[in-house]
Structure 1
Amino acid sequence: MNKEQDAYEHDLNVLRLISNPEELVPESTRYAFVKRLILRIMKVFTAYQIYFNKQLLVFLEKIIKNANLKYRIIEEELNLLKVQTLGRADNANYRSKYFPRVEEKFYLFQQERFRGSFDLIKDRQKKYIKYLKAITGMNKKNPFLEIGFGRGEFMEILQENRIKNIIGIEINKQHVIDARKRGFEVSLNDAIEFLEKQKGRLSGVSAFHVVEHMTFNQIFDLLHLIYQKMLKNGLLILETPNPENLQVGSHSFYIDHTHKTKLPARFLQSICEFIGFKSIEVIYSSPLKENLKNDVEKMIYGDFDYAIIARK
């Protein structure tokens, strides 16, 4: 830009020099007085042209000044963008030296503090028992898959309600160890990778507080694979935080550092419908207060969680 600025300044200087013919006659030239006299006589005819030339010069100077200002602004914005981009890149590339050593312990610590006791969660999940009766027959040959079984509350409910053929998968090693000690058939597995390799058909799938830990693309692929691997009339149970509750959407959702995606019920329902699930129900649960009177109270004190119940 400096070369361009120099070129503009040079051109302006040339225009300044020739804008008024009277100023073109040097002092040392021969017959300078006569030449100037002729130019003055001609001024009657050249006055408007000289005025136009000067105004044009002023106009061009303003254009170049504004162009230089815009250039400096753009240059500053580009510099700022570079700094911001480098900052984001540094944050994205940062790898903790210490957290990976305690990551699983930290997650278990947070779960015990904020999730609620084993008995409390198991009691809340008993509302899904009525949906299990329809798959007891098909479960004898086709397993029920519990994704992210955690402490195993729902696997106990399944066992107690004639759903004996159960597979559990988890990404937390300690949960897998604890579940095996209690006699469950479980493995340390990523849900999408497990489903891609699954050969047999499933009688049902449950995922309690799993999908909010995934990106949209992962959620879509997970539900697509569940649908593909499920028997006709198989059961799907998905439970996730309810972001329509303001306390959840603005506060409690972020208590878990592994949460990634807020999923309004209508949105998650629409994904399931698109993939092909039918007979979809939305069940809300865990309100802060009962007998709420209006939409405002529901947004503040309403259900903290909801579940999608669907069939293939």
Structure 2
Amino acid sequence: MSDSLKEFQRKIEIRQFAINNSWKADTTASGDSVYRDGCGLEDRFALLDENIVEADSSKFTNGYFPIYSNKKHIGGFVVFCKRAVRKIMKIFMGWYIFPILEHANHFRGKIVNAVALERELIVQQQQKINTLLDQVQKITNSQKESEKSERKAREHAKKLEEQMVVLMGEVNTLRAEYERDNLEMSDDFYHDFEEAFRGSREDIKTRLQVYVPIIRKHLSDWGKGTFIDVGSGRGEWLDVLKENGASDYIGVDLNQTQNKICEERGHRTICMDCIQYLRERPEKSVDLVTGFQIIEHLPLPIFVQLVEECKRVLKPGGMLLFETQNPSNLSVGADTFYIDPSHIRPLDPRLIEFLVKWCGFEQTQIIDANTTANCMNFNEDMLGQENKQLVHHINDISWKLFGPQDYAIFAVKGSKE
């Protein structure tokens, strides 16, 4: 057998020996080595201990070492002699030398295996630590999400509470509206009631003249305007419109008796809920929406809806005018307001102006109306400077008792809307 073939066979044997002593090899019943994979953590610790023990037991050996000499002049001869001796020993003492080499190879293999196992165990431990860190991070994130969800739940509960308050307000409004709508007052009854307490037609028309100049500032030619009067009643304002040249106007009222009277006087009316009527009108199609002694019959949410619909149907620069009784007048606020059983509540002018502004009207104005003849205004010259404070109190009392019994909210829609 040639030397090269013998060398190749020797390498095969060494490789097989390394496989047989590897921590990744299992030996079958027939003695063959099988590559082992997927060992668990405990198996790797056991193999690590096994390799360390076997490496420790085989570390004391006399294997082959490199041949060299420190002699400068005869070093080559010494090396030659050593090689010759080693050759002779290999021939005659191979039975002794080769087991030592195999023993040394076994030691190195076990050391390499132990280092590899230790490295893999460290990697697995690091992976386990990373997994635990990931779990801790997930738990932390989960706690943060839980806190965030809890905060959202509290905010949602607060919103629900606010919505509940709004709903209760709407329920109360609907209750008030139901009670108002179910009053047993026929159209004829309410017409006769107004005849008894509202005042004569001519008196009412005279009171309404206070609003004509301010409307003319914004619309001089009433013949070109479009007008809607909600809650037109007996039609006094429709008379004023017609007398000032208006032709395109309509009164909207649910009282058929009063609508019939208006039609007999040549006015066009419709028996319909005023908000529903406005909703059926196109946007930006009206110059003026008026309502006299009507808004005190409406719950505030319904009043807001009415104002919003008025704003929708009004042209840019269009006008809104609603008149109601003035609760700042003590006689009205404590007495005459409550004669009408269909009134819901007195409406403070400051509140009404705020609501109209809140609905988007730019220009707003409170117009005082229907001041009684008993209202007197003293000046300081009448009672002297020393009675200045007294004059102030007298005028204030006179205004609160005999001042404007009515007021109107006047508002103009923005020209750019």
TM class by smaller structure: 0.5 to 0.7
Which residue number corresponds to residue 307 of structure 2?
223
- Give the aligned residue type for 1:160: E
Select the residue among 335, 342, 365 that pairs with 1:281: 365
CA contact (8 A) 1:241 1:253 kept: yes
Select the residue among 227, 235, 243 that pairs with 1:160: 243
Matches within 5 A, 1:296-307: 296-307=397-408
Which residue number corresponds to residue 253 of structure 2?
170
Matches within 5 A, 1:96-245: 100=184, 103-133=186-216, 134-136=218-220, 140=224, 143-199=226-282, 201-245=285-329
Q: What's the RMSD between the two structures over aligned residues? A: 2.3
- Shift in alpha-carbon separation, 1:109–1:158, aligned structure 2, 3 A: same
Runs of 5+ in structure 1 lacking a partner? 1-88
Q: 2:223, 2:286 → 1: CA distance?
A: 8
Deviation at 1:204, TM superposition (A): 0.4
CA contact (8 A) 1:132 1:161 kept: no
Matching of residue 266 in structure 1 with residue 367 in structure 2: no
Which residue number corresponds to residue 39 of structure 1?
none
Q: 1:112, 1:261 → 2: CA distance?
A: 22
Q: Hey, which bits of structure 1, 4+ residues long, moved more than 4 A? A: 136-139
User: 3-state DSSP class of the match of 2:341?
Assistant: coil
Deviation at 1:310, TM superposition (A): 1.4
- Give the aligned residue type for 1:303: P
Q: 1:163, 1:174 → 2: CA distance?
A: 24
In the TM superposition, what whole-angstrom CA distance separates every residue of 1:185-225 from its partner, at most 9, and x where no partner exists?
21001111111111251110110001000001111110011
Deviation at 1:139, TM superposition (A): 6.1
CA contact (8 A) 2:222 2:244 kept: no
User: 3-state DSSP class of the match of 1:307?
Assistant: strand
User: 3-state DSSP class of the match of 2:411?
Assistant: strand
User: 3-state DSSP class of the match of 1:163?
Assistant: coil
Quote the sequence identity (%): 29
User: 3-state DSSP class of the match of 1:222?
Assistant: helix
CA contact (8 A) 2:366 2:409 kept: yes
Which residue number corresponds to residue 53 of structure 2?
none
Q: 2:299, 2:265 → 1: CA distance?
A: 32
Deviation at 1:272, TM superposition (A): 0.9
- Give the aligned residue type for 2:207: R
In the TM superposition, what whole-angstrom CA distance separates every residue of 1:73-125 from its partner, at most 9, and x where no partner exists?
xxxxxxxxxxxxxxxx9xx89x98xx74x522221121111110000000111
Q: 2:359, 2:223 → 1: CA distance?
A: 23
User: 3-state DSSP class of the match of 1:294?
Assistant: helix
Which residue number corresponds to residue 385 of structure 2?
none
CA contact (8 A) 2:363 2:412 kept: yes
Deviation at 1:149, TM superposition (A): 1.0
Which residue number corresponds to residue 251 of structure 1?
335
Deviation at 1:135, TM superposition (A): 2.3
User: 3-state DSSP class of the match of 2:219?
Assistant: helix
CA contact (8 A) 1:147 1:206 kept: yes
Matches within 5 A, 1:8-19: none
Q: 2:255, 2:277 → 1: CA distance?
A: 15
CA contact (8 A) 1:280 1:310 kept: yes
In the TM superposition, what whole-angstrom CA distance separates every residue of 1:105-154 from its partner, at most 9, and x where no partner exists?
221121111110000000111111113323255863x5210111111111
User: 3-state DSSP class of the match of 2:190?
Assistant: helix
Aligned pairs, how many?
A: 218
User: 3-state DSSP class of the match of 1:282?
Assistant: strand
In the TM superposition, what whole-angstrom CA distance separates every residue of 1:10-46 from its partner, at most 9, and x where no partner exists?
xxxxxxxxxxxxxxxxxxxxxxxxxxxxxxxxxxxxx
- Give the aligned residue type for 1:180: E
Deviation at 1:184, TM superposition (A): 1.4
CA contact (8 A) 1:146 1:155 kept: yes
Pair member with larger Rg = 2
Q: Please give the TM-score of this superposition, normalised by the length of structure 1.
A: 0.65
Deviation at 1:162, TM superposition (A): 2.2
Q: 1:135, 1:202 → 2: CA distance?
A: 12
